[in-house]
Amino acid sequence: MDIPVRRLFDGLESPSCIPSRTAYSLTVAYFSAVLIEGIMRPAKWVLAIAVLAIGAGKVVQAADGGRTEGFDITIPATATAQELNYQYNFWVLEVHLKSLRMIQVPLPDPKTGTVRKELVWYLPYKVIRRPLADDESKADLEPANRFDPEPTPPIFAPEFLLVTEDNDAQKRYPDQIIPQAQAAIIKRERRELKNSVEIIGPLPPVTPPGAEKENALYGVAMWRGIDPDTDYFTIYLMGFSNGYKYVRGPVSYEQLKQLAADGQLTMSDQVWDTKSDWIGAGEVENLFDESKPPPQDAEKTQWFYTVTSDRLATGEPAQIWRRTLRLQYWRPGDRFDQNEFEVRLRGEPTWIYRPDRPVDPALALPEPKTGQ
């Protein structure tokens, strides 16, 4: 038989016909074995294995006590004490993701206008606003003279950037508004999903843990024209937190020590060695006490450090770094048979701080390398 096994299941869209990718994969695996061995199992065995596969999908979805509707990747809303202390109005959303998916859609060529089928990559997501652990304690820290309300309510305005990382070269693809693809995606996913413009608006009301009804927003990021040869890529999700830092650097460790000696770096500032997480400058004891040992390989490392807004007018230019969710993927396939089931996450989704667009291009900092 010269028909590829997987094409026998092209009509089975995972989001609609089978509860999860796990169930789909198990079903495909079973029938592949049947076809390869040339064995026709009795109908009751076929039915039994299908039931088992669908049951396995339900286990994945019901792991949190309820259906996830395929949003099986959850990134909790978390914040460090440093973030909450550094930024009074800090917020971060709980993010739920489906797997990265692909769909063929008839689209007009941007140059010629000719309509032809094109592969669109897309990422469905759901966001929920949860109370942060420190929300209740913040009431005790309110300044006594704070009479004016916040000028505007917090706004959710997501941005997505897909960066391919093959052969030491990067290609950048911002998400796009593709109405024809959005309509096909909504039909496939069986849920209304807003694009990155339609979804802009106030943050949803807070949903306490365990609440029966979620105040959730549902959206989708879309891309067209992705390099079909790419094997490794990263997606950055911006706007899912308002966390930010004013950052200067890179500098050497000796320069960092001199800044501390001159009073331009304080113990309450934060430093980053491009390898681990941001930490308080006071935790690097050698910066303020010569009798303490320096960090390992301190002189071989580039360092970044934060400054407060009242110090921006003096010293080197600073840049805003924003809290960003990073998703790293790889796909072992080729350009001729791109398939969403070949796309796999590398590691866990991670919150990082990433340079914002600089006002002056001369102040642009390099893109943080994967793994930082």
- 77-109 tens-digit pLDDT: 999 888 888 888 899 999 999 999 999 999 998
Give the residue among 372, 334, 366, 326 at the shortest CA–CA distance from 95. Answer: 326
Percentage of the chain beyond pLDDT 90 is 57
What pLDDT was estimated at residue 113? 86
Q: Which tokens sit at 56?
A: 């396995």
- The amino acid that residue 338 corresponds to is Q
Q: Which tokens sit at 351?
A: 């919150």
d(CA 309, CA 319) in angstroms, rounded, equals 11
- The amino acid that residue 100 corresponds to is L
What pLDDT was estimated at residue 86? 82
Work out the burial of residue 347: count CB atoms within 10 Å of its CB; fewer than 13 is exposed, 13-18 middle, 19 or more buried. exposed
Q: Which tokens sit at 42?
A: 């009795």
**More confident: 67 or 36:** 67
Mark residue 73 as left, alpha or beta (left: phi above 0; alpha: psi -120 to 50; beta: remaining): beta
Percentage of the chain beyond pLDDT 70 is 73
Q: Tell me which residue has tokens 């009431």.
A: 139
- 148-169 tens-digit pLDDT: 455 578 999 999 999 998 877 8
Mean pLDDT of the region 253-264: 95
Widest distance between CA atoms in the chain = 81
Confidence of residue 315 (pLDDT cuts 50, 70, 90): confident
pTM for this model (two decimals): 0.75
Confidence of residue 39 (pLDDT cuts 50, 70, 90): very low
The radius of gyration computed from the CA coordinates of the chain, to the nearest angstrom, equals: 25
Is a pLDDT exceeding 80 seen at residue 146? no
Which residues, in sequence order, are CB contacts of 41 under 8 Å at separation 6+?
Answer: 34
Average model confidence (pLDDT) across the chain: 79
- 3-state secondary structure string across 226-241: CCCCCCEEEEEEECCE
Cβ contacts of 111-117, under 8 Å, gap ≥ 24:
none
Is a pLDDT exceeding 80 seen at residue 56? no
Range with the poorest average pLDDT among 23-32, 76-85, 122-131, 178-187: 23-32
Mean pLDDT of the region 286-313: 92
What pLDDT was estimated at residue 66? 52
Mean pLDDT of the region 104-133: 93
Confidence of residue 247 (pLDDT cuts 50, 70, 90): very high
Range with the poorest average pLDDT among 25-29, 131-135, 263-267, 289-293: 25-29
Confidence of residue 111 (pLDDT cuts 50, 70, 90): confident
Is a pLDDT exceeding 70 seen at residue 312? yes
